[in-house]
Structure 1
Amino acid sequence: MRRNMVKRNPIIIRQLLYISLSSALALFVTESIYRGGPGMVIEWISGYPISVMAVGIWMLSYFGILFFANNKGFIVAAILSITILSAIALIGFYKEKLRGDPLVPYDLAMAAEAGKMAAVFMDLPVAVIGLVILLIFLLFGLAFVIVKKVKNTPYTTVYLYVPAGSAILFAIMTFLIFSQASFYSGGEAIGLKERYMKIGILAGLASNLGSHPEAPEGYEEQIERLVTRKGNEHEPKSKPNIIMIMSEAFWDPAIMETITFNKDPLPNFHRLSRLHPSGTLHVPVFGGSTANTEFEVLTSLSTQFLPPGSIPYKNLIKEPVPALPHTLRDAGYETTALHMYHNWYYNRDEVYRLLGFDRFVSLEFFSKPVKDMMYYRDDELMNEILRQVKEREKPNFIFAVTMQNHGPYRTDAKKFYATMEASLKEEGKSFSPESENILEFYADNLVEADKQLGRLTEALQNLGEPSVVVFFGDHLPLLGEDYKVYKEAAYLNGREGYREYMKTYQTPLLIWSTEPFKTETLNLGSSFLAPYLLNSIGLKGNYVTDFLAEQLNGGKALLLPEKFSRQSPVKGKERKMYESLQYDLLYGNKQGIRHSGMKINPSKKYRLGYGEPEIVRAVRSSYQGKEAIKLIGKNFTSSTEVFVDGEKLRSVYADQTTLYALSDNPGKEFNVQLKIIDSEGTMLSESSKRVKVE
């Protein structure tokens, strides 16, 4: 018996030593990266010893499980784990520094979409990237050296004691972290940033995994009392074209009172704002996550009732939802979504179908978009809006999302049309060179966006058709990391107080119309925009917009986070009812839809673009002295690709009716087919038949 104990103890002691060192290293390295240095980790340990102990046990149990892989396997798995966790911590550090919000699981899910995480890393200092790469090489080098010297232990029952016990402990600790029972004080939920500071980034991320809001108490009875069966008749006096433009990062930097510009970057917006309803739109995001503002505007639901960091387009909209496009389509409108970016971003290609649009014209279907450094110019989008209004007999609802003003804003370059200059008003003070260039680069973008707004409204006025343009920003711009420009202008400081919150989440709003609206100063939450618009035009909404319209009539047009519930216009029983309506739609049994008698089926004619590319004729020709096949037809775009006998040919886009396919062997007969393929390799559209070349 004693001999067996002697044999067992060295195995278990060695396992515990490896596990303890690995888990301590992982926790120390990741928290040092996330918090900005080892000193901050010491402060964390001294400030929250119980939380640190709980997270430490959780990490210890995780590394204990890895011993199922034996000694050498454990070392490799541990090094790989530390590397991955360090990368997550680095992303979390920079996301919080850039946007002010902690990293959440939905951010990592978005990494599958090209450019999401790349956009974050574009702003990383070269020295930091080099240090991370060096650290990775050192870790794997260390793993290689250790593995060469370590001997594997034979698999025995004794060997499995620690990993088996660790698995049980890991399950218990994970449950506690998911339930967050150990990480609340006094039974009150703490804020997301505060929670991450208390329990660390890894446990913070885990606590948000699979988070699901609790059903409001008695929500089914509340909905039954509120929602009554109503007809779906829409008979307003007139049906103007409704054009909503969500302008990327549109904001008025002149409201920062400490700065001055050489000229007004937004002359058209300011002129029109004096003549039409205008003011501020309170949006749910800062510096990014455009789709959340879009979600609130189109559905009149609120992200305030969703788990932190939720992206509803990615994880919630899986079936039809009552939304503005559904309402307007039922009222006889043609509903079109336009966006100067890839169809798949934020799942828009599928979400727009579920929200009730007839079509989605994404980047792939614009005839010939022009790039402005990193993104595409707004003028092509405005051209498409005007073309749609002129060609369609039905009244139009067009929801357009711009891209030209998308960040990051350069610290070391100017655009060819640059004219803006910015400076601090106070004598003896000036922006840092980087901040000055960022702000001027951003202001030059605004000049272009403002020009297009002026051009659109003038063209619509000249058309003579009743039209309404709703123009707003989706979020404030990211003007440098860690609020750099905002801090130098003494406008934002990155803190979490009420006044700071209100300044961080308000963008400009303008409602222009050919027929006069009541001129008033607006201060709306983005989920209240559709009810306000429907009321102003005289169109009937759905039961959600009807409820919000009642709040509007009572002077309540804004829902704030729960921590600011005292200052929130919508609170108490109205807040509870709003939450119940939303829970029923997104998580419940959708009894509100049944009680109201609504039908929210997607459009039967929904499609990407306006129609399949169609070849009318294919003739032998030449292009710039080279043999070519000239294709004549319709619905061609610059993304259209030419396949001859199944082989892709180099092609040149001429216009919407003409393409040239360059062929090295024009002597044989060809079967030609057109395809539109997106950046993910998905075929979006193709010509319906093959044709022979004449």
Structure 2
Amino acid sequence: MMDRKQKIIAGIVGMTVCPIMYFYLLEAYTHNGFTEVRPWSQFFNIILFELVAWILFFLFRSAKWALRTEGIVAMTAGLANAYVYSFRSLPLVPWDIYSVKTAMSVADNYDFMPSVRYVVVVLGFVAIISAVRFFDLRLEKLKWYAGLAAAVVICIILSGVTYVLQQEDFQNRHRMYNKLFTPVYMWQVNGFALTMVMELPYISVDKPDGYDKKAAEEQLMAYQKKAKENDAQTKNKQDPNIIVIMDEAFSDLAILGDFQTNKDYMPYFHSMQGADNTISGYLNVSVCGGNTANTEFEFLTGNTMAFLPQGSVPYQQYVKHNIEALPSYLTGLGYETYGMHPYYASGWDRDTVYPLLGFEHTAFIEDYTDREYIRKYVSDRSCVEKIKETFEQKKTGKPMFLFNVTMQNHGSYSDAYDNFIPDIAVEGASSESLSAYLSLIAKTDQALEELITYFKNVNEPTMIVFFGDHQPNDVVAEPVLRLNGKSSRNLSEEDTKLRYQVPYLIWANYEIDTKTEEDTSANYLGMKVLEAAGITLPAYQEFLKDFEKGYPILSAVRTEAASSPEISKNEYRQLQYYELFDKGN
């Protein structure tokens, strides 16, 4: 038995050493914290772990229970982060708390079989958590309110440390990486806890420099006048049906480098690039491997994720009231508007968000009758059937705007299914995930051909817009990169941009200008669709038309600027803030 002095020494040693071990173990799920996390960042992570341990110590008045609690939290958070990174190629960020409901809805479609590394790290945590019984320092004579007071004091110290760690000058002086647009690298060199602390200030959106609500309103009024003047010059107005399909994980991985397959995985889409009455190119999006709703948000609203916190999901954080978007605008022009998704309505809060964006009608998985499944998801072919059914049942002579988000190609791609046999093989790559992904894309390609073939024979003028929300995660892309001498862990800036590009096309069953290599970004695509359809642009989209001349591509990961843009990015930022947070208030 230890005497009182020995218990105090053991307790202090445990309270000092265990938090350090917890930090390095948490990092060990995915990488080596000793070698990959920068020296100053290692120190600051340890400070955070130490302060939390002492807060818990004074709350519980027991070193054993303080260290057990911190160990369990660190073990769980690290494992959650490792799985999230493996599924979407991005680490956890503070805003993921808003995505828990969506994550749970798709969790059973992922493979949670732990790797050997995960098991070893968990066993390390368990060993330390079990050993803390030897650090049984207790403050038995300390009253609970005194312990609480001490914990509050340390919380204040922790808040001060957190504030300092969030200051840009301090970060730069201590080589803390603070570029939010490269979240994986930021997490790898800063460590999980420190990165979370550095990202917390971005959970809310501040007013842009020089923002004035009245000035924003006046500027949009001027653009509304300009839009009406442009409309007076527009000829051959059609008011066509507009059918938009944002296809889950649809992309052409050939953009990452050359690879050979036993057969073309998207022959119809390739044939449409350059076809008559078709506009095609590459769409630059702000997400990769996940966060589908952000591409959806950019397309429907004209807003850009470039001005919002990295990792945030506007559907869950910012769309809390009616905002102007394509469906609300087209509803005002006499269109019937439909928001459709063959999965649960709660995904990304679409059942709440869609009405706020102006969709008159919504349809989710329970509304897809006689649905066909590929793996565990409703097929793209079933989406095509639902679109045709909706068109045939709409009011005659009244145009419709239909926005469909598919699910067929959702990850993961590693499991085997009786109803899906991959038939696309890549020479020199034995990846089952890559084969499954390309085989799913081939089925999407067939569904797209069926849809366009149907509307070729429809008398009503109809426009079909088709694009992917993002590329698949690194597990799928890695074999293609390796065939080209690259790796997802050390991509150049230019190669990283390629991971955020997906093909798109705009096709009409009537005459429109044919354009190829019309690369753009998701925030401009809605404007381009309205323009191609000959529809008067709303004021905000008219502004985007002018702004695009100076910044033809703008996303959370890429900015392409003309030599001397006439409109500053801050002007766009101000109008976006007005549209998203201040309009109508």
Is the TM-score greater than 0.5? yes
Q: In 1, distance between residues paired with 2:443 and 2:499?
A: 24
- Note if contact 1:94-1:120 (Cα within 8 Å) is conserved in structure 2: no
Q: In 2, distance between residues paired with 1:387 and 1:477?
A: 30
Aligned-pair CA distance for 1:500? 1.1
Q: Name 1:203's counterpart in structure 2.
A: 194
Q: In 2, distance between residues paired with 1:100 and 1:370?
A: 29
Aligned-pair CA distance for 1:532? 0.8
Aligned-pair CA distance for 1:497? 3.4
Residues 179/365 of structure 1: CA separation in 2 closer, same or farther (3 Å cut):
farther
Which one of 369, 383, 395 corresponds to residue 385 of structure 2? Answer: 383
SS of 1:480 mapped into structure 2: helix
- Note if contact 1:471-1:511 (Cα within 8 Å) is conserved in structure 2: yes
SS of 2:490 mapped into structure 1: coil
Q: 1:450 is matched by which residue type in structure 2?
A: D
Which one of 360, 373, 376 corresponds to residue 374 of structure 1? Answer: 376
Residues 89/503 of structure 1: CA separation in 2 closer, same or farther (3 Å cut):
same
SS of 1:309 mapped into structure 2: coil
SS of 2:410 mapped into structure 1: coil
Which one of 28, 48, 63 corresponds to residue 53 of structure 2? Answer: 63
SS of 1:259 mapped into structure 2: coil
481-490 or 212-221, larger mean C-alpha shift: 481-490
Aligned-pair CA distance for 1:551? 3.1
Which one of 547, 562, 570 corresponds to residue 543 of structure 2? Answer: 547
Post-superposition CA distance 1:14-50 (Å, at most 9, x none): 664443123222222223334x13xx42553xx433x
**Are 1:290 and 2:297 matched, yes or no?**
no
Q: Name 2:401's counterpart in structure 1.
A: 397
Q: In 2, distance between residues paired with 1:129 and 1:32?
A: 8
Q: Name 1:599's counterpart in structure 2.
A: none
**Are 1:477 and 2:472 matched, yes or no?**
yes
- List aligned pairs for 1:107-146, cutoff 5 A: 107-115=96-104, 118=107, 122=111, 125-131=114-120, 134-135=123-124, 137-143=126-132, 145-146=133-134
Q: Name 2:414's counterpart in structure 1.
A: 410
Post-superposition CA distance 1:143-164 (Å, at most 9, x none): 5x448x6665221598778645
- Note if contact 2:375-2:417 (Cα within 8 Å) is conserved in structure 1: no
Q: In 1, distance between residues paired with 2:284 and 2:104?
A: 27
Which one of 26, 35, 40 corresponds to residue 22 of structure 2? Answer: 26
199-208 or 396-405, larger mean C-alpha shift: 199-208
Residues 119/175 of structure 1: CA separation in 2 closer, same or farther (3 Å cut):
farther
Aligned-pair CA distance for 1:269? 1.3
Aligned-pair CA distance for 1:107? 2.5
Q: 1:184 is matched by which residue type in structure 2?
A: N
RMSD: 3.4
- Note if contact 2:339-2:404 (Cα within 8 Å) is conserved in structure 1: yes
Which one of 426, 436, 440 corresponds to residue 422 of structure 1? Answer: 426
Aligned-pair CA distance for 1:179? 4.4
Q: Name 1:464's counterpart in structure 2.
A: 459
261-270 or 337-346, larger mean C-alpha shift: 261-270
Which one of 566, 578, 584 corresponds to residue 578 of structure 2? Answer: 584
SS of 1:510 mapped into structure 2: strand
- Note if contact 2:101-2:347 (Cα within 8 Å) is conserved in structure 1: no
Aligned-pair CA distance for 1:227? 1.9
**Are 1:279 and 2:281 matched, yes or no?**
yes
Aligned-pair CA distance for 1:484? 4.0
Residues 254/123 of structure 1: CA separation in 2 closer, same or farther (3 Å cut):
farther
**Are 1:215 and 2:210 matched, yes or no?**
no
**Are 1:500 and 2:513 matched, yes or no?**
no
Q: Name 1:597's counterpart in structure 2.
A: none
Post-superposition CA distance 1:193-235 (Å, at most 9, x none): 4543443211211222252343222122752552226489889
Aligned-pair CA distance for 1:135? 4.7
SS of 1:246 mapped into structure 2: strand
Q: 2:404 is matched by which residue type in structure 1?
A: A
507-516 or 250-259, larger mean C-alpha shift: 250-259
Which one of 322, 325, 348 corresponds to residue 323 of structure 1? Answer: 325
Q: Name 2:352's counterpart in structure 1.
A: 350
- Note if contact 1:483-1:494 (Cα within 8 Å) is conserved in structure 2: no
Q: Name 1:454's counterpart in structure 2.
A: 449
SS of 2:59 mapped into structure 1: helix
TM score, norm. by length of structure 2: 0.86
- Note if contact 1:320-1:355 (Cα within 8 Å) is conserved in structure 2: yes
- Note if contact 1:22-1:63 (Cα within 8 Å) is conserved in structure 2: no
Q: In 2, distance between residues paired with 1:10 and 1:164?
A: 28
Q: In 1, distance between residues paired with 2:377 and 2:563?
A: 38
Unaligned runs of 5+ in 1: 1-6, 424-429, 595-694
- Note if contact 1:178-1:206 (Cα within 8 Å) is conserved in structure 2: yes
- Note if contact 2:240-2:461 (Cα within 8 Å) is conserved in structure 1: yes
Aligned-pair CA distance for 1:446? 1.5
Aligned-pair CA distance for 1:447? 1.7
Q: In 1, distance between residues paired with 2:330 and 2:511?
A: 21
Q: How many residues align structurally? A: 565
Residues 116/584 of structure 1: CA separation in 2 closer, same or farther (3 Å cut):
same
Q: 1:419 is matched by which residue type in structure 2?
A: D
Q: 2:414 is matched by which residue type in structure 1?
A: R
Q: Name 1:261's counterpart in structure 2.
A: 261
- Note if contact 1:283-1:505 (Cα within 8 Å) is conserved in structure 2: yes
Q: 1:265 is matched by which residue type in structure 2?
A: Y
Q: Name 1:513's counterpart in structure 2.
A: 508
222-231 or 202-211, larger mean C-alpha shift: 222-231
Q: In 2, distance between residues paired with 1:481 and 1:91?
A: 21
Residues 492/56 of structure 1: CA separation in 2 closer, same or farther (3 Å cut):
closer
SS of 2:140 mapped into structure 1: coil
Residues 572/84 of structure 1: CA separation in 2 closer, same or farther (3 Å cut):
farther
Q: In 1, distance between residues paired with 2:477 and 2:314?
A: 26
Q: In 2, distance between residues paired with 1:111 and 1:12?
A: 41
380-389 or 482-491, larger mean C-alpha shift: 482-491
- Note if contact 2:248-2:408 (Cα within 8 Å) is conserved in structure 1: yes
Aligned-pair CA distance for 1:320? 0.9
Q: In 2, distance between residues paired with 1:187 and 1:67?
A: 31
Q: In 1, distance between residues paired with 2:111 and 2:562?
A: 37
Q: 2:51 is matched by which residue type in structure 1?
A: S
- Note if contact 2:15-2:50 (Cα within 8 Å) is conserved in structure 1: yes
Q: Name 1:227's counterpart in structure 2.
A: 220
Q: 2:328 is matched by which residue type in structure 1?
A: H
Choose between structure 1 and 2 for higher RCO, CA contacts under 8 A separated by at least 6 residues.
2
Which one of 134, 146, 155 corresponds to residue 142 of structure 2? Answer: 155
Q: In 2, distance between residues paired with 1:484 and 1:99?
A: 16
SS of 1:113 mapped into structure 2: helix
- Note if contact 2:249-2:471 (Cα within 8 Å) is conserved in structure 1: yes
- Note if contact 1:98-1:481 (Cα within 8 Å) is conserved in structure 2: no
Q: 1:177 is matched by which residue type in structure 2?
A: L
Which one of 179, 183, 204 corresponds to residue 191 of structure 1? Answer: 179
Q: 1:581 is matched by which residue type in structure 2?
A: L
457-466 or 127-136, larger mean C-alpha shift: 127-136
- List aligned pairs for 1:8-23, cutoff 5 A: 16-23=12-19
SS of 1:278 mapped into structure 2: strand
- List aligned pairs for 1:618-633, cutoff 5 A: none
Name the % identity: 27
TM score, norm. by length of structure 1: 0.74
Residues 356/334 of structure 1: CA separation in 2 closer, same or farther (3 Å cut):
same
Residues 469/494 of structure 1: CA separation in 2 closer, same or farther (3 Å cut):
farther
SS of 2:519 mapped into structure 1: strand
SS of 2:401 mapped into structure 1: strand
- Note if contact 1:560-1:568 (Cα within 8 Å) is conserved in structure 2: no
**Are 1:54 and 2:54 matched, yes or no?**
no
Aligned-pair CA distance for 1:52? 3.3
SS of 1:277 mapped into structure 2: strand
Q: Name 1:170's counterpart in structure 2.
A: 158
Q: 1:306 is matched by which residue type in structure 2?
A: L
Residues 238/573 of structure 1: CA separation in 2 closer, same or farther (3 Å cut):
closer
- Note if contact 1:24-1:56 (Cα within 8 Å) is conserved in structure 2: yes
Q: In 2, distance between residues paired with 1:297 and 1:557?
A: 15
